[in-house]
Amino acid sequence: MSPNEIAIPRLQRSGGFRTWVPSGPAPARRRRDRREGNGRWFVLPFLVLLTLFMFVPVCYAIYTSLFTSKLIGGTSFSGLANYGQVFASSEFWSGVRRVLLFAAIQVPLTIGIAAFFAAIFDLGVAKFGRFFRVVFFVPFAVPAVVAAMMWSFLLLPQFGPYTRLAGAVGLQRTDFFSPNLILPTLIVIVIWEWAGYNMTILYTALKSVPREVVEAAVIDGASFWKVVMRVKLPMVSPAIVMLFFLNTIGALQLFTEPSILSSFQPQAISFGFTPTLFVYNTSIGSLEYNLGAAAAVVLGLVIGALSVGSLLWRRRRGEFA
Amino acid sequence: MSSTARVPVAHTEPGASPGRFVCARRRASERRRIRRADALAANVPVRLYGVRRGTVILLTLCSVLFALFILAPLVWIMVNATKTQPNVYESFGFWFARPFVLFHNLSMLFENVSGAGIYVQWLGNTVLYAVLGGVGATVLSALAGYGFARYRFLGSKALFYFVLSALLVPITAVALPLYLVYAKVGLINSMWGMVLPCMVSPVGVYLMRTFIDASVPQELIDAARIDGAGELGTFLRVAVPIMVPGLVTVLLLSVVAVWNNYFLPLIIFTHNSAYPLTVGLASLSQGAETGSKGQLVPVLIAGGLVTVIPIIVLFVFLQRYFRGGLLQGSTTG
């Protein structure tokens, strides 16, 4: 073989051939390239770890959930008995109801606040927008553990600064951790943590709306609020839908905040206050790993079903190819 | 998903574009001028909306109130890290009180908690987990993102969907299963039990793929190949230098995710010498509240402050990269 015969096929294989010959093969030819197979070596390390540390454990948890361990008699196959126990547990379902209620209030509130500030900073109708955007995003850098700790001191019965403030405006003896107020308290904490993050995402999405669209609306005489409500926000609805989805998944997994609050206010947080706490307390707390695994699988399925459902819904509405 | 995943990053917020990264060291005055020009190009001037002056003041006031809501707990933690235990409860929460004992609290924190300087150990653990986990996640995501963006091999599409499906698996549903597997293979209390799962970042892969699609031209890679570069050489010497802004974004997001992670280390560590700061602080707060260790509350608060500061510093200096990453996740949803 002469050197030429080697060189030319290499040019073709590389897909760069058409830079030399204008009437060369269409870009699609590239896909048949033998070099393309090398891509698998790039994705392999990630896929190995993904399998080992995500899919294997999940499968093992499903397997474990089908057995029952007893102090006397060891481990035996028990089919779906653990699932029956989870489904029959009123503690588990009260946790599920609680996080659903929590999500139903916290998610729209967070996104509403985020959208409000994103819109006014985007259109520049509030002063010092850059400064506020940085400030609002700061809680993203604060671990949930520290956030919950700070808030439990701020809301401490009797001594907390906010409790005193409530006392000063006439709400004596407010207990932010009483059964009636614990959910609103958690909602405030979670809004504190996540509103700025949501705002940042919406702000960047709003910035990508082309200037011409807004100009056209303004020339047609649309007022400021019309521009926001009818032009800007509808154009970023995919980002809003995605935030609903992410926030809901996060809310259903609520764990860190109630678990930290429980070390300050043990009476406020029950064994199965949220489904994740139920999983944690049954397995790590009470050492009933099989039951905990079953509860984890149920929780994963509920969240997974919600995710898939919302993806399908978005795809049907054509927001998502 | 593939078509939405290809939405170019081009329409970013001005100032977050990869091009701007090159000029990071431009003089401040010039930067300001560019920013103003960008703002003018991107925005319709406010007065055209016919917004009244009163409305602007009202909206600014709303922002001030929300900023107070956001900043109050942070001010509280800074102020109260300087107080004695009685003062934490008795004095006004948002202002200093005598005596000023910040340094005493810090030295208690670093020397005397549990008698063995265990907070220093937690800090070291956290840095170790965050650096190893963050760097690992970035390297793996960059490799996988490049593989998915620039190669079409057998099953590449199906594998990418497999990665996306991992996005839907809730982390809390994985932590307990991991514990069960670790108990079988002896990874409980092992550093690797924490670091390796943190290296698995489906979001990182997705971000890197989107970034590479938008900013690493296929023609450049083809050119490198014609010049005889191997596949890995092309990746390292041609693609990686262009990918730097995306890499920094993924690195920062992963480091913060590991630094703030609580549930996974809580479940897989049983020895407190392996704890990261979050789990350590949680165990401290239990001790502080049940009163088994007197005078521990201000030490705990100082511990919280020390946990927060590194990430806030990181974030304030590098916030353009945080925004860049958030953006890609959002416009391409």
pLDDT tens per residue across span A55-107: 999 999 999 899 887 766 677 788 788 899 888 888 999 999 999 999 999 99
Q: CB distance from B28 to chain A under 8 Å?
A: no
* Alpha carbon distance B306, B41 (integer Å): 42
Closest in A60, A151, A196 to B70, CB measured: A196
CB within 8 Å: B205 and A42? no
A164 confidence band (pLDDT: 50, 70, 90)? confident
- From B22's Cα to the closest Cα of chain A, the distance in A is 21
CB within 8 Å: A149 and B304? yes
Contact, A280 vs B264, CB < 8 A? Answer: no
Q: In Å, how far are A206, B123, B312 from B74, measured between CA atoms?
A: 29, 20, 11
CB within 8 Å: B73 and A151? yes
Evaluate the omega torsion of the peptide bond into residue B99 and state whether it is cis, within 30 degrees of 0.
Answer: yes
B45 confidence band (pLDDT: 50, 70, 90)? low
Q: Which residue has the higher pLDDT, B297 or B3?
A: B297
Give the Cα-Cα-Cα angle B8, B13, B18 (nearest 5 degrees): 60
Other CB atoms within 10 A of residue B52 CB: 10
What's chain A's length in residues? Answer: 321
Mean pLDDT (chain B, rounded)? 81
pLDDT attached to residue A79:
79
pLDDT attached to residue B194:
93
With the CA atoms of B255, B74, A258 and A201 taken in that order, what torsion angle do they form, in degrees rounded to the nearest 10? -50
CA of B329: which chain A residue's CA is closest? Answer: A201
pLDDT attached to residue B333:
30
Position of tokens 């994740």? Answer: A276
Mean pLDDT of the B150-177 span:
85
Best mutation target, A42, A49, A225, A299, to test chain B (most B CBs within 10 A): A42
Q: How many helices (DSSP H) and strands (DSSP E) are in chain A?
A: 16, 2
- From A247's Cα to the closest Cα of chain B, the distance in A is 12
| Domains in chain A: ranges and CATH | 1-32 (no CATH), 83-316 (1.10.3720.10)
Structure tokens at A31: 């896909």
- CATH class, domain B118-331, is mainly alpha
Q: What is the pTM of this model?
A: 0.83
Q: CB distance from B316 to chain A under 8 Å?
A: yes
Q: Which residue has the higher pLDDT, A277 or A172?
A: A277
Closest in A154, A202, A321 to B73, CB measured: A154
* Alpha carbon distance B131, B256 (integer Å): 10
pLDDT attached to residue A14:
38
- CB proximity under 8 Å: B 201-230 to A: 202, 205, 218-219, 222-223, 225-226
pLDDT attached to residue A303:
85
pLDDT attached to residue B329:
42
Closest in A45, A126, A147 to B63, CB measured: A126
CB within 8 Å: A207 and B13? yes
Contact, A65 vs A78, CB < 8 A? Answer: no
Checking if the pLDDT of A126 tops 90, the result is no
Q: In Å, how far are A254, B75, B223 from B98, measured between CA atoms?
A: 39, 17, 69
Q: Which residue has the higher pLDDT, B135 or A70?
A: B135
CA of B269: which chain A residue's CA is closest? Answer: A284
Checking if the pLDDT of B324 tops 80, the result is no
